[in-house]
């Protein structure tokens, strides 16, 4: 063929191919467009052409579209054609079976489903294809049979997870759970994966905590009874119990494992620390006591003693009414332990708790200051640790009435750690000292700087301080009322409560037009609460809600009133109503999340399983 003729031929061929491709592209577009619009008769015109061009790629669209218009014979024909193309793709037997089922030929339907499983090549691609088709057709039992056959052929990979997902679709939760537990028994290293998958399948409840389904605990307990030496099921149950904050249940399981395997108490020690962080003081004590009872030869003995004393401190200082006799007894235990344990790591918690009890609960600032000064002078602790204790010493100096000494310590920490969060804490304490001293412009300047602090807590406190100064002084620059208020605030810090109340009352007598009404009520509420005078506390909160509901402390008063009914008066119905008021009157408050949670708990939404 001459070269010119060849070029013409190739050109014409390329034009033909391009036209054919354009025609197919148009057919694809129209077929899918009609299919999505459920205009199946029109779609089938194009699917027929596309199927002839590429049977495998367009089979499923064409099959479904034919079934939709009840052209069962044609659907059967193209399905059998697919089987001829590749006999190993046995999922086409399922599509045939479905056709017979639609036409009420149930015997033939079953025959083809069984045939699909019988002729299945037990190789992963074929297994997953067939199982997914059965699942798509909601034939879950057949999907299980597929995985059963696959399991027999490959014992090293028994398809636990795949079977579990099918049982989940069937809503057969017990079978699903047991598939996951079988996977765990098969290979203990699957624990984390099994936990994650069960959490996703059974749901995770932030309110009640953890995997929220009683069936899992039930099945785990059965496994533990059946195989008590298989530690992985006990580990899993402990994980669930911790998530659901059933710490007593977790204690029982941890103790059983510790005794059975003659362990060193670590499980109970770790659980005790978790109990402390969740304020379950009784269970924390049981955990630490158990470790201590194992004797000093065990590695966690000393740590359990220190952690137990810390739990006791947190419990006693967190009570609505302080038990002075119990605090004095704890003071003696802390002194004894501080003499016994000389390592800095062991001493820090003991010292911090001891001086806090002495200074802030037993009014013994002298001994507390002496202890802290000795620690700062003679102990080789890290600089940051010493800085933390300097701040504490400054707070106690302030309580003791030595404001200059407190300011000096705060300034040292601010200077030495200018780029650390602790420097911001020190700076805020100095700003408060300026506020107590009546130097409001400087206090506000410092507070405004700290509104951008890294610590959210410091930033919020700085914002509150700035707002108090701005609102109290106002446009007339009369700082007389605020000087009385800030000095009363200092008296509260120094535990001089009666003097503080008298000074707050004097503001109303001396300055009739002051703007500190809600601040005074709120401060008096804090004082009365500290003195365990709950009726007076209630009156102060109610005064704010009656006279200053839209001012700075409106939402604070509403939420704290609810807490007062909830935790102090033990009146759940009144607490529930007060929490509801937080949600309806102050929907943008920072307290809404906690108020909603407590409201729902009182209502009984989270009964444990």
**Are 479 and 473 within 8 A, CB to CB?**
yes
Residues near 456 by beta carbon (within 8 Å), at least 6 away in sequence: none
Asked whether residue 308 carries a pLDDT value surpassing 50, the answer given is yes
328-351 b/e (C-beta count within 10 Å ≥ 16 → b): eebbebbeebbeebeeeebbbbbb
Return the DSSP state at 420. Answer: S
pLDDT category at 207 given cuts 50, 70, 90 is: low
- The torsion region of residue 227 among left (phi > 0), alpha (psi -120 to 50) and beta comes to beta
Could you tell me where the DSSP H helices lie in 381-420? 383-400, 403-416
Q: How far apart are CA 161 and CA 182, in angstroms?
A: 10
* Cβ neighbours, 10 Å, residue 430: 22
Instruction: Name the pTM for this structure.
Output: 0.77
Q: Which helix (H) or strand (E) holds 380?
A: none
Q: How far apart are CA 411 and CA 585, in angstroms?
A: 42
Asked whether residue 8 carries a pLDDT value surpassing 70, the answer given is no
109-138 b/e (C-beta count within 10 Å ≥ 16 → b): beebbeebbeebeeeeebbbbbbebbbebe
Q: How far apart are CA 279 and CA 270, in angstroms?
A: 14
3-class SS of residue 38:
coil
Asked whether residue 7 carries a pLDDT value surpassing 60, the answer given is no
pLDDT category at 473 given cuts 50, 70, 90 is: confident
- Summarised one tens digit per residue, pLDDT across range 116-126 is 999 999 899 99
Residues near 272 by beta carbon (within 8 Å), at least 6 away in sequence: 283, 284, 287, 288, 291, 304, 307, 308, 311
Query: What is the pLDDT averaged over residues 14-35?
Result: 68
Q: What is the DSSP string of 563-597?
A: HIIIIIS--HHHHHHHHHHHHHH-TTSTTHHHHHH
Distances (CA, A) of 222 to 91, 228, 237, 343, 609: 38, 10, 11, 46, 17
Asked whether residue 593 carries a pLDDT value surpassing 50, the answer given is yes
- Summarised one tens digit per residue, pLDDT across range 237-247 is 999 899 888 99
What angle do helix axes 140-153 and 160-170 make, rounded to 10 degrees? 170
pLDDT value of residue 494:
85
Extract the tokens encoding 430: 């100095």
Return the DSSP state at 508. Answer: H
- Summarised one tens digit per residue, pLDDT across range 483-520 is 999 999 999 888 888 999 999 999 988 887 788 899 99
Extract the tokens encoding 488: 């009363």
Mean pLDDT, the chain, integer: 90
**CA geometry: angle 578, 583, 584, nearest 5 deg:** 95
What kind of fold does domain 524-609 have according to CATH? 1.25.40
Q: How far apart are CA 64 and CA 373, in angstroms?
A: 84
Query: What is the pLDDT averaged over residues 466-477?
Result: 77
- The torsion region of residue 533 among left (phi > 0), alpha (psi -120 to 50) and beta comes to beta
pLDDT category at 430 given cuts 50, 70, 90 is: very high
pLDDT category at 272 given cuts 50, 70, 90 is: very high
Q: Which residue has the tokens 């610590």?
A: 455
Q: How far apart are CA 178 and CA 440, in angstroms?
A: 67
Tell me which of 206 and 351 has the higher pLDDT.
Answer: 351
**Are 483 and 438 within 8 A, CB to CB?**
yes
**Are 497 and 531 within 8 A, CB to CB?**
yes
pLDDT category at 472 given cuts 50, 70, 90 is: confident
Q: How far apart are CA 306 and CA 99, in angstroms?
A: 73
Residues near 584 by beta carbon (within 8 Å), at least 6 away in sequence: none
Tell me how long the chain is.
Answer: 609
- Closest by Cα among 287, 311, 310 to 300: 287
Could you tell me where the DSSP H helices lie in 474-533? 480-493, 497-510, 517-530
- Summarised one tens digit per residue, pLDDT across range 536-579 is 999 999 999 999 999 889 999 999 999 999 989 999 999 999 99
Phi, psi of 211 (to 5 degrees): -70, 120
Q: How far apart are CA 154 and CA 148, in angstroms?
A: 10
Query: What is the pLDDT averaged over residues 172-181?
Result: 94
Q: How far apart are CA 55 and CA 16, in angstroms?
A: 22
Handedness of CA 115, 117, 119, 125 (dihedral sign): positive
Residues near 107 by beta carbon (within 8 Å), at least 6 away in sequence: none
Query: What is the pLDDT averaged over residues 357-368?
Result: 94
Q: What is the DSSP string of 140-183?
A: HHHHHHHHHHHHHH-TTS--HHHHHHHHHHHT-HHHHHHHHHHH
């Amino acid at each position: 063929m001459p070269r010119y003729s060849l070029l013409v031929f190739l050109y014409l061929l390329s034009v033909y191919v391009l036209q054919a491709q354009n025609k197919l592209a148009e057919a694809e577009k129209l077929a899918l467009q009609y299919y999505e619009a459920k205009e199946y008769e029109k779609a089938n015109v194009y699917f027929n052409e596309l199927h002839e061009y590429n049977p495998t790629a367009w089979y499923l669209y064409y099959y479904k579209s034919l079934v939709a218009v009840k052209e069962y014979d044609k659907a059967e024909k193209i399905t059998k054609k697919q089987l001829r193309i590749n006999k190993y793709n046995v999922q086409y037997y399922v599509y045939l079976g479905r056709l017979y089922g639609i036409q009420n030929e149930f015997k033939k339907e079953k025959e083809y489903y069984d045939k699909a499983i019988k002729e299945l090549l037990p190789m992963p691609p074929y297994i997953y294809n067939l199982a997914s088709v059965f699942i798509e057709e909601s034939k879950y039992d057949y999907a299980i049979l597929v995985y059963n056959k696959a399991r027999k052929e490959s014992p090293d990979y028994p398809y636990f997870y795949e079977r579990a997902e099918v049982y989940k679709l069937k809503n057969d939760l017990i079978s699903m759970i047991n598939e996951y537990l079988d996977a765990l028994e098969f290979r203990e290293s699957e624990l984390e994966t099994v936990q994650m998958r069960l959490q996703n399948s059974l749901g995770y409840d932030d309110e009640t905590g953890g995997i929220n389904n009683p069936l899992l605990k039930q099945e785990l307990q059965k496994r533990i009874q059946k195989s008590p030496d298989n530690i992985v099921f006990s580990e899993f149950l402990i994980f669930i119990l911790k998530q659901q904050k059933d710490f007593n249940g977790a204690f029982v399981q941890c103790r059983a494992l510790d005794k059975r395997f003659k362990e060193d108490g670590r499980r109970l020690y770790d659980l005790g620390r978790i109990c402390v962080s969740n304020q379950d003081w009784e269970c924390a004590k049981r955990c630490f006591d158990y470790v201590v009872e194992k004797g000093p030869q065990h590695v966690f003995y000393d740590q359990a003693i220190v952690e137990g004393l810390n739990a006791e401190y947190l419990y006693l200082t967190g009570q609505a009414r302080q038990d002075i006799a119990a605090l004095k007894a704890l003071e003696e235990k802390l002194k004894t332990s501080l003499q016994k344990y000389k390592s800095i790591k062991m001493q820090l918690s003991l010292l911090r708790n001891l001086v806090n009890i002495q200074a802030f609960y037993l009014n013994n600032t002298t001994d507390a200051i002496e202890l802290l000064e000795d620690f700062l002078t003679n102990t080789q602790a890290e600089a940051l640790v010493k800085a933390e204790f300097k701040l504490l010493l400054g707070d106690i100096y302030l309580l003791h009435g030595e404001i200059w000494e407190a300011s000096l310590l705060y300034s040292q920490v601010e200077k030495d750690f200018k780029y650390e969060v602790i420097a911001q804490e020190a700076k805020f304490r100095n700003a408060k000292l300026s506020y107590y001293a009546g130097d409001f412009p400087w206090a506000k300047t410092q507070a405004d700087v700290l509104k951008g602090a890294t610590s959210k807590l410091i930033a919020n406190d700085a914002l509150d301080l700035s707002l108090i100064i701005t609102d109290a002084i106002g446009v007339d620059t009369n700082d007389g009322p605020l000087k009385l208020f800030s000095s009363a605030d200092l008296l509260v810090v120094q535990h001089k409560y009666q003097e503080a109340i008298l000074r707050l009352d004097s503001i109303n007598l001396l300055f009739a037009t002051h703007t500190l009404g809600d601040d005074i009520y709120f401060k008096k509420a804090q004082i009365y609460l500290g003195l365990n005078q709950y009726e007076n506390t209630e009156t102060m909160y109610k005064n704010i809600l009656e006279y200053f509901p839209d001012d700075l402390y409106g939402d604070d008063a509403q939420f704290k009133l609810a807490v007062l009914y909830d935790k102090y008066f033990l009146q759940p119905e009144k607490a529930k109503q007060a929490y509801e008021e937080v949600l309806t009157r102050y929907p943008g408050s920072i307290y809404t999340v906690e108020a909603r949670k407590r409201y729902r708990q009182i209502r009984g939404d989270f009964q444990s399983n």
